[in-house]
Amino acid sequence: MALAFTNSLTRTKEPFVSIRPGEVGLYTCGPTVYNIAHIGNFRAYVFEDLLKRTLQFCGYRVRHVMNLTDVDDKTIRDSRAAGLSLNEFTQRFKDAFFADTKVLRIAPADVYPEATAHIPEMITLIQALIDKGIAYRAEDGSVYFSIARWPNYGQLVHIEAEQMRPGTRVSHDEYAKESVADFALWKSWSEDDGDVAWDSPWGRGRPGWHIECSAMSARYLGPHFDIHCGGVDNMFPHHEDEIAQSEAANGCQFVNVWMHCAHLVVDGVKMSKSLGNFHTLRDVLQRGWSGREVRYVLLATHYRQSLNFSFRACEDARAALQRLDAFRERLLEAARLPDSDTAAAAAAAQAAEAGFRAALEDDLNISAALATLFDLVREGNRLLDAGAVAGAAAKAILGTLERFDSVLAVMTPDEDAGVPADIQALADARQAARKAKDFARADQLRDQLAAAGWVIEDTPKGPRVRRR
Ligand SMILES: [Zn+2]
């Protein structure tokens, strides 16, 4: 069996061969920190987490770089509207992003370079493109990449040369996809930018969005690295422009494998604020779902398929995780018993490990990997019922689950995660009533919680609220 991924560059599933044996350089486009990321954004980050953990599961050391876009049209516009400096404004969304990734158990990247901290690298890269005659300075001090002078443009989205309209300059980071045109590497200062500007050989201004990923990936992974990911929305123009800038400047192939995840829809339709189906992670947690339940939903659809998010899917995730929890608890109990014959349990665990690995190696086939996991749950429960799993046999299966969880990261329960504020307030009031020995009031509050679908468990660490 060998690892294989679908490469957006060639549009085929290819065996994965790393540039350096045993090591993978991975770059994933990070958030633009001007708002709270929504669950569609997290679909991409969870897919990338699955990819990274799978590579690690297969024995690779992964160097993972994820940028934070903390200067662009949107961050400037909204920081000014909020009356805050760019840094103050973006910091709160950086904090929120890291808090949310933690809730979703996304393993941290090795480096999170911020665009504002890498302006010199971007200037050097732009200068290299000017020196090669591929970029040019316009009258106002902005610098553009000339598509006409770079015939290789369009590798990723396979654009025909006739479709391009060289000479038309567009200064926005994002523009209508029909209009393929020279794109801005450096934008000269305009009044809308307020005090956001850096000195450059072309005058004061700021970098375009695309150049930051070319500059920061080269800084941390070198000019040629293994895998670059993003959502399918990033393919054009962002990734296409990254390829053009990097390859034109560095004279070598930029990335071997491009991987893109498909969209997320909610109840079968595009997420939008006007439809009322626009969810941040926080919204979903407020409704009583936990981080690992949301992670499970985001994980369980193959990355190249559109993911349909619904609360029905959250219910299914909860049921699946409850089955897993119950199975693990049975095994933990059985592990304390004297050893049974281990042959049947070892065979089941071994078959599951082989199946799980083969599934993930096949372009991250998560459905098959989860099916293998639940086959093990079924077979393990059958053996437990028959009294055939005790002691070392139970530990063998627990070991397998642990290895699976190094990839899935869904098996340990969230501590008090996703308890809505109003529910927590009721629980706190009950605790206060108990302390005051007002047991009638405490019981009344407990009933109120029960009516809302919550129970309180008194644990050694104090009372804990969880969904019934
Ligand atoms: Zn990027």
Q: Cα(68) to centroid of ligand 1, in Å?
A: 9
Q: Cα(69) to centroid of ligand 1, in Å?
A: 8
Same domain, 441 and 360: no
**Residue 244 domain-assigned (yes or no):** yes
pLDDT classification of 164: cutoffs 50, 70, 90: low
Q: Cα(220) to centroid of ligand 1, in Å?
A: 14
Q: What CATH number is given to the structural domain containing 348?
A: 1.10.730
**Residue 257 domain-assigned (yes or no):** yes
Q: What CATH number is given to the structural domain containing 33?
A: 3.40.50.620
Q: Cα(76) to centroid of ligand 1, in Å?
A: 18
**Residue 440 domain-assigned (yes or no):** yes
**Residue 415 domain-assigned (yes or no):** no
Q: Which pairs count as long-range contacts for 13-20, CB under 8 Å and 24+ apart, including other chains?
A: 13/363, 14/257, 16/257, 17/256, 18/60, 18/226, 19/224, 19/225, 19/226, 19/256
Same domain, 342 and 396: yes
Average pLDDT along the chain: 91
Same domain, 208 and 275: no
DSSP string covering 302-358? -TTSPEEE-HHHHHHHHHHHHHHHHHHHHHHHHHTSPP---HHHHHHHHHHHHHHHH
Last residue of a domain, one of 226, 261, 296: 261
Q: How far apart are the first and last CA of the chain?
A: 43
Residue 299 pLDDT exceeds 80: yes
**Residue 416 domain-assigned (yes or no):** no
Q: Cα(143) to centroid of ligand 1, in Å?
A: 19
Each residue's pLDDT tens digit, 300-311:
999 999 999 999
**Residue 414 domain-assigned (yes or no):** no
Same domain, 200 and 284: no
Domain that holds residue 400: 266-408
Q: Cα(66) to centroid of ligand 1, in Å?
A: 9
Same domain, 124 and 178: yes
Task: Note the pLDDT of residue 133.
Answer: 95
Last residue of a domain, one of 261, 277, 299: 261
**Residue 230 domain-assigned (yes or no):** yes
- For residue 350, the one-letter residue type is Q
Count of the separate structural domains present in the chain: 3
Same domain, 32 and 76: yes
Each residue's pLDDT tens digit, 180-236:
579 999 999 999 999 999 999 999 999 999 999 999 999 999 999 999 999 999 999
Q: Cα(37) to centroid of ligand 1, in Å?
A: 16
Paired strand residues for 185: none
Q: Cα(239) to centroid of ligand 1, in Å?
A: 7
Each residue's pLDDT tens digit, 363-401:
999 999 999 999 999 999 999 999 999 999 999 999 999
pLDDT classification of 176: cutoffs 50, 70, 90: very low
Same domain, 256 and 274: no
**Residue 344 domain-assigned (yes or no):** yes
Q: Cα(401) to centroid of ligand 1, in Å?
A: 35
| Cα–Cα dist 219/271, whole Å | 35
Q: Cα(50) to centroid of ligand 1, in Å?
A: 19
Each residue's pLDDT tens digit, 437-460:
999 989 988 888 888 778 888 776
Q: Is the dihedral of CA 338, 343, 346, 352 positive or negative?
A: negative
Q: Cα(25) to centroid of ligand 1, in Å?
A: 15
Q: Cα(147) to centroid of ligand 1, in Å?
A: 19
Same domain, 247 and 337: no
Same domain, 334 and 437: no
Last residue of a domain, one of 261, 294, 320: 261
Task: Note the pLDDT of residue 172.
Answer: 52
Q: Cα(396) to centroid of ligand 1, in Å?
A: 42
Q: Cα(429) to centroid of ligand 1, in Å?
A: 48
pLDDT classification of 166: cutoffs 50, 70, 90: very low
Same domain, 213 and 296: no
Same domain, 168 and 224: yes
Q: Cα(211) to centroid of ligand 1, in Å?
A: 8
Q: Cα(212) to centroid of ligand 1, in Å?
A: 7
Q: Cα(313) to centroid of ligand 1, in Å?
A: 30
Same domain, 206 and 63: yes
